[in-house]
Amino acid sequence: MQLDDTDRRLLRVLQKEGRISNADLSERVNLSPSACHRRVARLEREGFIRDYVALLDPRKVDLPTTVFVEITLSGQADEVLEAFEKAVARVPDVLECHLMAGSADYLLKIVAEDSEDFARIHRQHLTRLPGVARMQSSFALRTVFKTTALPL
């Protein structure tokens, strides 16, 4: 399925206002409510819209510290990668894990209460991940810009 301009307008609004009513959404994208509902249902069915979520304020839930961890594995064999990926997916503090090209094999985005909490995460989880040869952690001092909206 190809996205047309109307689909893109719908997705742009929904990415920023996931709780918008169908009536308000249809007004914003200049469609009738029934046509708008059909298009959104099709975008959901086709997998363009994967989920609807609540984005929490990390400070309000006492997780204001973001740490990026570069991981280099001891090898590149499929079984080493699979074991690492399976284990890291079970670490509750890891928000994202990316297989990388470059100096590190993986980049993790982790949230913590503070540096002491990150030390606990490191000790209890990261040091136990299989196949890890080297880790380098970088603490974010401040989030300058952050969005979940894809540029359409």
Nearest to 40 by CA among 28, 53, 26: 26
Query: What is the structure's pLDDT at 1?
Result: 83
pTM for the structure as a whole: 0.91
Q: Work out the average pLDDT over 72-82.
A: 96
Distance separating alpha carbons of residues 152 and 145, to the nearest angstrom: 18
**Residue 53 pLDDT greater than 90, yes or no:** yes
Distance separating alpha carbons of residues 121 and 128, to the nearest angstrom: 10
17-34 pLDDT per residue, tens = 999 999 999 999 999 999
Query: What is the structure's pLDDT at 26?
Result: 98
Q: Work out the average pLDDT over 72-83.
A: 96
Q: At what angle do helices 33-45 and 5-16 cross, to 10 degrees?
A: 80
Pick one of 3.30.70.920, 3.40.50.720, 3.40.50.10490, 1.10.3720.10 as the CATH number of 65-139. 3.30.70.920
Pick one of 1.10.357, 3.40.50, 1.10.10, 2.40.160 as the CATH number of 5-45. 1.10.10
